[in-house]
Structure 1
Amino acid sequence: MEFQLSSAQSDGEVFLLDYPDDFITDKHFTERDSTFGHYANLQLKELWFDGVALFLGDFKPDTPHTMNLSSDNFFWVMSFVLDGSLTFYPDPDSEGRTLKKGVYQTFYCATTNVNMRIEEYAKIFTICLTYNFVKKILPEHLAIEDQPYTLLSTDLGDNRTKTIIQDMLRGDRPAHIRRMAIEARILDLLSMQMERMEKIHANEEILKNKDIGRLNEAKYIVEQNLRNPYSLVELARKTGLNDFKLKKGFKKLFGYTVFGYLTEIRMNKAYLLLQEGKTVSQVAEAVGYKNSQHFTVAFKKKFKVLPSKMKPD
């Protein structure tokens, strides 16, 4: 098993990352650190064991840099942007998706051939699971072997996700305990993903495919307009949905009302900004609250703590 890593700035040079089949190891896990000076100044930490590989990549390019990652193997991928940002192209003809700090993306692919564009800096934590690992625990109706590439979700990471990622990155435990902890956290992430997917699967018979596409568009618009959100009437008009389908369909598909989802992602973003050391007034403005007191009330209701009491990481 191998990954091929190449750079648009390296005149076709390819670097190979080799692994045993299915990431099988005779130890609790195997670790490796690699440095690629010609590959966006990439520092890569790897850890793998039976069916699982973890990658912590730290990109510090001198200039904007495009890289290609390819493999002939199936992988279920969970990736979390810990810092900075990158633009992700799942195939050469696709429209790029810019992922920023706090974004959690899950997809699976029969083979891997993705481009990544890093403008300044990016720190990415990625979990790759092999087919033999996921087929034992995923539902039969998810025909993973039939799809060349399927994006399952791109969500703002909530506090539970952040805690799970931090726990997986801990290296201060004995090897056997560390492996058990990593496996348990992977199952936590998969169960969270399955809950989201099952909600969508259960509602596919209720909502027409065209409506699902429009509701996903509505969700994306809400995410991109935290400071100046659309009204329900404006959002319905922009997505081609009537008011009833927007309100009822959004709740069925995503588990939130439109306003409830707006509040949820505002609060999650606010939590991250406060941990970065931003002031309460700065954060309130950044997530769309004109009145800091209103923001404080909403934040305390969500997290049971005043935003002024939050301390940077």
Structure 2
Amino acid sequence: MTDTAPETITAAARTATRRATLIGFSAVALWSLLALFTVGSAPVPPLLLNALTFGIGGLLGLVWVALSGNLRELRDVSWKVYAFGTAGLFGYHFLYFSALRMAPPAEAGLIAYLWPLLIVLFSGFLPGEHLGRLHIIGALMAFAGAAMIVVSNANTGSTGPSGSALPGYGLAFLCALTWSAYSLGSRRLGRVPTAAVAVYCLATAALSAAAHLALEPSLWPVGPMGWAAVIALGLGPVGLAFYTWDIGVKRGDIQLLGTASYAAPLLSTLALIAAGAARANTVIVAAAVLIAAGAALAAKASRR
């Protein structure tokens, strides 16, 4: 019995890790709908859209926390943790939208989407983690697939980056650093309850509202479909996704999650195709092969 007990514990731990990783995958699936719902929410400006959607996501979290009877857990969380989470959510989105205003969106978006690669690479320095050759190869292959999708949507009439776009590219790189740091930092805060994400969202909504009043005109959703898109964003990609991502990065295989995150631009493109907003082409097929192969290599490395 003493010989099998450690094996039983190890098997249970592996099962829990796989379950948490699958939960984290749901965030990637939800983020794939971000572009589609954002298109439907026009003409709402970015910071106002942040305020509305994060407000919905935060209220959704509070309802979940209240129904689960874990409101008391929020009192035990340090203000430093709340500041960290709020800075991650608000900082990433503020930098992202600013970058897309100051630089060509396709190129800036590609630079900002370096965060999954940074998660995979930097996670090797976390306690108990190991970065192998297959992790690196898989991450680079998946990144190549994501790059193909973003570059294929670039304006073919552009003549290349100008010096005036460099600040925007710098902000886009800060986006990648911010989200990878938030995800890896959440891993280190494994004992902080996921319920704290509700506070992150509400604080982000408040900061976004203040920034909106200072920087943007107030343009509201048009008609029932516009409001439906905003609500869908708040419930899914800018709501539930942050809670499931928190579970995944804290308890799951963070290297596999980082690599699998490259599926988001592919799935987002497929969603746009299904809605008639984009056309299928050979680039998508090639990107799908690279992303799937990269994720498979990372999964193989994690199983080892």
Greater helix proportion: 2
Same fold by TM-score greater than 0.5: no
Which interval holds the TM-score relative to the shorter structure?
under 0.3
Relative contact order higher in (CA < 8 Å, ≥ 6 apart):
2
TM-score normalised to structure 2 length:
0.27
Greater strand proportion: 1
